[in-house]
Amino acid sequence: MKTSNLKRLSFALLLAFSAVLPHPAWAASPAPVKAEHGMVVTAQHLASDVGLEVLKKGGNAVDAAVAVGYALAVVYPTAGNIGGGGFMTIRFKDGKSTFLDFRERAPLAATKAMYLDDHGNLVKGRSTDGYLAVGVPGPVAGFEFARSRYGTRPLKELIEPAVKLAREGFVLQQGDADVFERAAERLAKDAAAAAIFLTPEGKPRAVGDRLVQTDLAASLSRIAEEGPDAFYTGAIADLIVKASAEKGGILSKQDFEQYRVRELEPVKCNYRGYEVVSSPPPSSGGVIICEILNILEGYPLPYLGYGSAETVHAMVEAMRHAYVDRNTALGDPDFVENPVAKFTNKAYAEEIRKKIDPFKAGVSELLKPAGFGESSETTHYSIVDDEGNAVAVTYTLNGSFGAGVVAPGTGILLNNEMDDFTAKPGAPNLYGLVQGEANAIAPGKTPLSSMSPTIISKNGEPFMVIGSPGGARIITITLEAILNVIDHGMNIQEAVDAPRIHHQWLPDKVFMEPYALSPDTLKLLSAMGHDVEIDENWTIWGQATGILVGGESVSEIQAGGGARYNGAVDSRIGAGAARGY
Ligand code: DON
């Protein structure tokens, strides 16, 4: 056979092969952690240990998620919290699923223009620093809602490990200390925060130091004894409201008393035969992941290959279109009509594909709807138990250490989630997101989120649990981990480690993590009209934690299967761990 015919034949074989089986990536990543009965993957190893113990003692995945949520509030104070908010996606062993929204609500005294000066200009720092930035926190209510309906163990038992870690302290490792180093200047501004997280000399706590949090231990013990009332109607609410009033905030006791968890129907879609279950509004995450997946389903990504110019072009254009929808049309479902059905519809994706030029970058400005105008620490954890129940939780203080304030006497760090609202239509927030009226501030309203705790199943069986922090990039980080597994054949560790790209409509730029794309690919993208910028700020590229069920990769599953549970903590995380048994 002539060489050219041989080439043509092997190309045809490659095409046929790639249509059915993704290529194994063989990237340089450590092996995923393997286990047969349960898996807990979190951003802090001590919290993973806590979750694993709950599972080993016969608690289910929801019990473990509650215990991990409290433990991270102690050992991962940059994002783990009880003074912030979050989401929990649960897929039960029988295939049913649900979603809990325990995100912050705007205080009743909040107003649309509260972060603007008399001339209508944004006042720098007002929506991010100090008590005016704080939304009414939800985790204590959320964890109790989850535990009392879907858990099996008493609250006291699940909080106890967190109380112990706070009271006795824990020794900081490098990954823990890095976080304090970066936040020291900000924490120094709040005496109560500085007293906990800085040394008496005002220096960040360092490797080998023991972090003891006595006030936090007392607050957690109170919650263990009295339940969520301690937080919402009792002494803790009083202390937070007092501090807020003294330091320029607007939180009232009524805000705490009125806080309610919402149980919502998750967003669902199907990608190449995989069932995706993810976050509905007030998160944009699930809707936009589904919208992008629907668009990308029309492109042969396994054949085009990871990191090729054609794959990246398709991804970027899908992201561009979907983020317009995110930033202009979505908001708290109690306040605005969210076109979820439309945005997650396959026919809508087909319409968008028709608008995408295969050879040319789109122009974001041209997609701006008539009459129109997101930050950096969150954490995600993924859990599966022996029965096959799966839980994905993403929760946050929004920015690192939230608003940088601790209400004296509570030990509780408070969020700056109010910055996720549209403080001013058209003006970018902490994450550069340019958003519209649907996400305007109103009393009792929840700001639009990107948090995307996601669970995927195949043929009725759990397949993947995934999510990440990363502000506006949470959506594309989670999406890319899914594509890396399903389309590019990576194992779960490779999938969360692989360098990422991101586009969010505005600014009209493709952001890439260092080394994500080769110089050749960059030239091809540039020739198509893409403006690609290397973003070296590693803190914004997220920290995914994932679990794959039935094998470490699709090819292992298709070849007959591997370990039942395969856990991976993103190599970008300093202190995390996947623990299984
Ligand atoms: O809810 C949201 O979308 C943001 N508050 C998340 C912030 C975040 O991920 C920061 N972490 N890197």
Interval 68-122: pLDDT, tens: 999 999 999 999 999 999 999 999 999 999 999 999 999 999 999 999 999 999 9
Distance (Å, whole) CA 553 – CA 137: 38
Q: Is the CB of 179 under 6 A from ligand 1?
A: no
Task: Give, for ligand 1, the residue of 417, 474, 541, 573 to mutate: max count of ligand atoms closer than 8 Å to Cβ.
Answer: 474
Instruction: List Cα–Cα distances, 255 to 129, 248, 408, 442, in angstroms.
Output: 20, 16, 19, 13
Do residues 105 and 444 make contact, with C-beta atoms less than 8 angstroms apart?
A: yes
In the predicted model, is pLDDT for residue 6 greater than 50?
no
Distance (Å, whole) CA 219 – CA 223: 6
Distance (Å, whole) CA 468 – CA 542: 6
List 87's β-bridge partners, or say none.
101, 394
Instruction: List Cα–Cα distances, 551 to 30, 90, 462, 492, in angstroms.
Output: 15, 21, 12, 9
In the predicted model, is pLDDT for residue 205 greater than 80?
yes
Alpha carbon dihedral 346, 351, 353, 354, in 10-degree steps, equals: 150
Locate 107 and state its tokens: 């205080």
| Angle between helices 61-75 and 155-168 in degrees, nearest 10 | 20
Distance of CA 396 to the CA centre of its chain: 8
Do residues 416 and 127 make contact, with C-beta atoms less than 8 angstroms apart?
A: yes
Element (H, E) at 382: strand 377-384
Q: Is the CB of 204 under 6 A from ligand 1?
A: no
More confident residue, 380 or 574: 380
Q: Would the pTM of this model clear 0.85, i.e. be above it?
A: yes
Do residues 327 and 505 make contact, with C-beta atoms less than 8 angstroms apart?
A: yes
3-state helix, strand, coil in the chain (%, to 5): 40, 15, 45
Locate 319 and state its tokens: 């992201």
Give the whole-number percent of the chain exceeding pLDDT 70.
94
Q: Is the CB of 190 under 6 A from ligand 1?
A: no
Tally the residues of the chain.
Answer: 581
Find the DSSP H helices in 247-308. Answer: 253-257, 285-296, 301-304
Judge residue 557's burial from the number of C-beta atoms within 10 Å of its C-beta, 0-12 exposed, 13-18 middle, 19 or more buried: middle
Least confident of 269-273, 389-393, 487-491, 570-574: 570-574
Q: Is the CB of 244 under 6 A from ligand 1?
A: no
In the predicted model, is pLDDT for residue 430 greater than 90?
no
Q: Is 78 a catalytic residue?
A: no
Could you identify the residue written with the tokens 């989630």? 417
In the predicted model, is pLDDT for residue 16 greater than 80?
no
> Atom 1, ligand 1: which residue's CA is nearest?
449
Of 240, 278, 326, 258, the closest CA to residue 502 belongs to: 326
Catalytic residue, candidates 89, 128, 378, 410? 378
> Atom 6, ligand 1: which residue's CA is nearest?
471
Alpha carbon dihedral 210, 167, 249, 179, in 10-degree steps, equals: 30
Distance (Å, whole) CA 537 – CA 93: 40
Which tens digits make up the pLDDT trace of 434-482?
788 899 999 999 999 999 999 999 999 999 999 999 999 999 999 999 9
Q: In a 3-state reduction of DSSP, which class is residue 398?
A: strand
Judge residue 75's burial from the number of C-beta atoms within 10 Å of its C-beta, 0-12 exposed, 13-18 middle, 19 or more buried: buried
Which tens digits make up the pLDDT trace of 299-345?
999 999 999 999 999 999 999 999 999 999 999 999 999 999 999 99
Q: Quote the ligand 1 centre to 381 CA distance (angstroms).
A: 14
> Atom 8, ligand 1: which residue's CA is nearest?
471
Q: Is the CB of 452 under 6 A from ligand 1?
A: no
Q: Is the CB of 552 under 6 A from ligand 1?
A: no
Q: What is the DSSP letter of 284?
A: S
In the predicted model, is pLDDT for residue 576 greater than 90?
yes
Atom of ligand 1 nearest to the CA of 450: 3
Q: Is the CB of 446 under 6 A from ligand 1?
A: no
Half-sphere exposure of 15 toward its Cβ, with a 13 Å CA cutoff?
6
* For residue 282, cis peptide bond before it (omega within 30 degrees of 0): yes
Q: What is the pLDDT of residue 29?
A: 86
Task: Give, for ligand 1, the residue of 179, 431, 477 to mutate: max count of ligand atoms closer than 8 Å to Cβ.
Answer: 431
Atom of ligand 1 nearest to the CA of 420: 5
Least confident of 402-411, 424-433, 538-547: 424-433
End-to-end CA distance of the chain: 54
Least confident of 24-33, 335-344, 483-492: 24-33
In the predicted model, is pLDDT for residue 379 greater than 90?
yes
Determine phi and psi for 476, rounding to 5 degrees: -75, -30
Task: Give, for ligand 1, the residue of 378, 430, 449, 545 to mutate: max count of ligand atoms closer than 8 Å to Cβ.
Answer: 378
Distance (Å, whole) CA 25 – CA 555: 10
